[in-house]
Structure 1
Amino acid sequence: MASFPNTYTHRKVADTAAKSCEICFKPSTSVLVTSDNKDFFFVCPGHLKDRGFCKPIIDEAAIAARKKKEMDAEVERVKQEFEEKQKKKKEKEKEKAKEKEKEKEKEKEEDKSKDKDKKDDEDEGKKSDEKSKSDEVEKAEEEPRVFGLAKAFYQQRIDKKKKCRDRAPE
């Protein structure tokens, strides 16, 4: 009979609260905690990637929601780019009409449109830099947070809890 579920959430604690890893005894700020807070232990982040120790529990609904959110953001970005291109196209058409009327102003208008294009190119470069930074933050959040211990380690945690409970004075 298990006194707690085999579902552990990965949490971080402050550097000052670091304690030894349950596996290798090195100081660690990563903690695995059950949902009902009945069991917790410190573990190195490297052990969380070891399939022999634990396996991530993937929440399909959360992944689907994240993908939908990313797709919506992408669609919105494409719509904005399309609208900007349409505005530029209309502006260029207006400029061409003015150019037909005045040949001397044509050269000046071309210089201005070239400057605008350079500024737009610089703005697009800045936007792509900001997007890459936000992608890095999202990648850090993509690490699994919920784990299930391997059978041997889970049984070891249960035995340890039973042993502590049996020792406790009543």
Structure 2
Amino acid sequence: MSFPNIWHHRKVADTASRGCEICYKPTTSVLATPGKQDFFYTCVTHLKDKSLCSPIVDQEALAAKKKKEMDEELEKVKKEYEEKQRLKKEREEAKDKKKDGDKEKDKADDEKSKSSDDKEEKLGDKKAPAGTETPKEEEEPRVFALQKNFHQQRVDRKRQAERAKKLREQMRDPNFFPSVPKDQP
């Protein structure tokens, strides 16, 4: 019996942890085939080892994720730009209204608007890095392909277990062993 070389990384409860197939340390990480034909416990550090397995990356999902992130970033920048344009337009309207008034009030208002502009820019600068500083968790790969020799070991072990099971079933059959001769020699 052979199964595809596609292994999904799963986590089990701490109470169900077993020894790693490679280093025998207790672990909760399991690599299992999609049809649950075979599984084995392995440490997370071994999953990063290229001599054991390599991750299978879904390029379409990765491209879709990047496109979604770019669209979100583009929308965010558009909103910021529209907000700045709206504030700029409001300031110009306020200045036009003030031109009708005294010039002394204009000077004081200009200083206030400049200081408020500086404050808004500082707040905008503070907001931008805070939003970009939050690092997104890099998702670890969830699907792996075992190296050729490790996969073959798993297939051989599975075949050997099936042969042993079949032999046990045959041995339960009373006709499996030869009977004692009943004829006279």
Give the TM-score normalised by the residue count of structure 1: 0.83
Q: Which structure 1 residue ranges, 5 or more long, are not aligned?
A: none
Would you say how many aligned residue pairs link Structure 1 and Structure 2? 165
- Give, in whole Å, the separation in 2 of the partners of 1:10 and 1:33: 7
In structure 2, what is the equivalent of residue 10 of structure 1? Answer: 9
In structure 2, what is the equivalent of residue 87 of structure 1? Answer: 86
- Contact preservation (8 Å) 1:95, 1:109: no
CA drift of 1:8 comes to 0.5
Question: Which structure would you say has the larger Rg?
Answer: 2
In structure 2, what is the equivalent of residue 33 of structure 1? Answer: 32
- Give, in whole Å, the separation in 2 of the partners of 1:102 and 1:12: 73
1:157 aligns with 2:166: no
In structure 1, what is the equivalent of residue 180 of structure 2? Answer: none
% identical aligned pairs: 48
User: Per the alignment, do residues 39 and 102 of structure 1 end up closer, same or farther by CA in structure 2, a change over 3 Å counting?
Assistant: farther
The one-letter code of the counterpart of 1:98 is K
Larger % of helix: which?
Answer: 1
In structure 2, what is the equivalent of residue 46 of structure 1? Answer: 45
Supply the RMSD in Å over aligned alpha carbons.
Answer: 2.2
Q: Which structure 2 residue ranges, 5 or more long, are not aligned?
A: 170-185
**Secondary structure of 2:35 counterpart:** coil
In structure 2, what is the equivalent of residue 103 of structure 1? Answer: 103
1:76 aligns with 2:114: no
The one-letter code of the counterpart of 2:102 is K
User: Per the alignment, do residues 151 and 74 of structure 1 end up closer, same or farther by CA in structure 2, a change over 3 Å counting?
Assistant: same
The one-letter code of the counterpart of 2:54 is K
User: Per the alignment, do residues 72 and 45 of structure 1 end up closer, same or farther by CA in structure 2, a change over 3 Å counting?
Assistant: same
CA drift of 1:121 comes to 3.3
User: Per the alignment, do residues 18 and 92 of structure 1 end up closer, same or farther by CA in structure 2, a change over 3 Å counting?
Assistant: same
The one-letter code of the counterpart of 2:153 is Q
CA drift of 1:119 comes to 5.1
**Secondary structure of 1:9 counterpart:** strand
Where has structure 1 moved over 6 Å in runs of 4 or more?
A: none
In structure 2, what is the equivalent of residue 114 of structure 1? Answer: 115
The one-letter code of the counterpart of 1:102 is D
